[in-house]
A and B are shown apart, each in its own frame.
Chain A
């Protein structure tokens, strides 16, 4: 009984039954339901001890109703008949008191709204081995990480998490789509007296995670950066490992939505079609990429397109929800923003943000370099493992501030010389992506400030460090 209760997963047929009830209970012109949830577990360790160890099962039904240009959403995590009636009524009540909005579109029909331009199908991202991981297996992996820490006389902290999740969308025009996937993640920090190192990786398939190797790399960074020197702030050549790249570039992708341009809140205002970055920068949004993850449909159920956002440094295209594409076609910007069409990147309606690309894939260099090769070609520079607490200082010049963390090294004459005290940077993303001298092979990377992406390590000239902290 215990096992059955804890491994229950909602499937498309059960979700369709729930939607059938929602339709029956609704008097709206149109109705839509997002149904999502699953199981997740996370084993957390610090001071070489598992100190937090959690699991959660939760499913959510989110109902949107629409009446003649008026729409609203209500959400519950209960699927009994009374709760479904209550959530439908709540959505309808919120919708009915509004003034009609002439821009509200009818809900999309199945297969409507966007052309499929994926060059290959979305691969299966559900792995039984990941779904079946037990608390004992997570503890066993953590035990091995702690073993690495103890071998090197270090202290470790981190997580090992696994989950299986489902996500579906149904509407009264017959659209119904469903997606399931598993996820697993290991993040390891190794702490020495006055230094630290960090590594993180994730995959739908837990077999692809190598916790011990991650722990060994983090440990090496910790003891190699011991006794950090203070060197002055200033402009340096930096070698950013992929996690550092992703955390900083992630701050620009919400500006690649069409609504951000219409709202005039994007750093791409008046810049679409211009060469904003270096010739070597190419960026796509591609949910079907083998190293990507996530559902192949957006918040309205429109299938996600593969969109080239940046080509040889030129901002080529934006992504669009259906309503944004309609507005853009009628706007003063319509001739200046490239191709306008729904691309399957809209957030669930209603929302104020419109859309954003969330499956970012960077192109690699013609001659990719390893981090070691980048170090070898650097006369004087800084190797950055990880960035932290990044925030936007200037929204149009895209100046970002933040700190280095958990493994920052001085590089001279092609070799790592020693660890350094951590820097604060204030760096324009535009300048950074115009100053990329070398790149690695794009890989799936995960940080803490942005969503996961497929990005390369980068060697960047004239990176702007403005202050040094005390460790």
Chain B
């Protein structure tokens, strides 16, 4: 066949050209990548077209995190392209990160020619073997006839059901081979069809339980964000309609507006007093798109002991995994929330008003504890204060926040208040230091005129620092806002808590001069040491139309509170003003926990 068949979209082309055609047909505008021997044919095809723009990163891990940032801020499936061997292994951290946080990305890897596979050829590795446990699915394409189907399937699998990363490993000879390309078509995948509609009987039962609840709480997570803006909208409606309090995981921030009266703040290990107490004391928990992770539950046998639990999740394996559920509803959040709203409106009766008022009164006494309070200082910048000022000065702008992992991440979650979904990109499940800079690059690529800030720590940021070069090359004015406490802060905090203050290897020795570093990359550097100078410095950062590294020197001894120590329950959390008793807070068994 050499002719174009306009009707079916079938065209003869090389494997490399198919990759580009499939990316374009799947709506990919940008692909993050790094060339190498085993993907040269694809790079040659990239050179000869202008539909898909390639973004050259500095390390393949950066490509994966950039794609994650792109996907999370747009809700679309994002793509990356790396070479065989080290290209693929470097991307593994990003793939594992995307799997843990359910982020839809497609990673195309080059592979040595089929006849060399298994031969220990140059830059060969068993990519599908290595990535099998850290992807939702992966493919090795050994026949050009399979390539178009596999490429389209990869996007379908990545984006449908519980999203996740998909790897397509393409040997170099397949990239050169000629075959017939088909456009994506609508027929369903032969085997993989996740359930999207919730069971109506269970939804009805859940609504009945909600109407009888006296101390209810909504506990929501990243599933709402992944489900799309409609899910957030429906969640807001349902929360308003019921009048119940709502808390969220780290991953779910922004699905419900933090400015709302019904919002309790984040829950979990560094969640607010009111959120964790509400979870502990409630009589009905409505979990939507969250997974009862150990950072949320604390000690599992003391987790919310007196509540009935409703769990809505698109992944059946999340239900009854860690915690016994009374009503498990498998389905897409937006679908189930829509049906739930309709059922709630259609059934007579309402929750006991007086009971609900009493519950809110209880919540207000917990709120009055002001668990996020910290000792302000006029001499030294408190990290919490820095985030508060950053929030105040950027909240009215079109802002996206990424983070690294550690204390700064938790402070960002506590003090930067999100009103909309898709604005908050952080590595939740895997906890990947070095996530923030490349993720910011990805976000800024998708939103070129928005303000994109990576709230970072001086230790994390050095893991993927080189992506600043990418930002400079593509004129992406990302802002790297470093809370520099000269320590791996969370490691230091745990050493203080658990290891008698022996700060083993957690001091950030030999730090670079971040201002000079910025200049070396042709970016702009700012240093701020005094609380009084902070606002002006932040404004300078915002007004600089190019990448900025902001070195914010903060109190090196500040700890992140509240905190539920390892092995403790929600009602055993430690607040900042009780921090002197930290040493006694953790049991011997608790010290085993991570």
Verify that A and B bind, or say they do not.
Answer: no
Residues of A within 8 A of B (CB): none
Residues of B within 8 A of A (CB): none
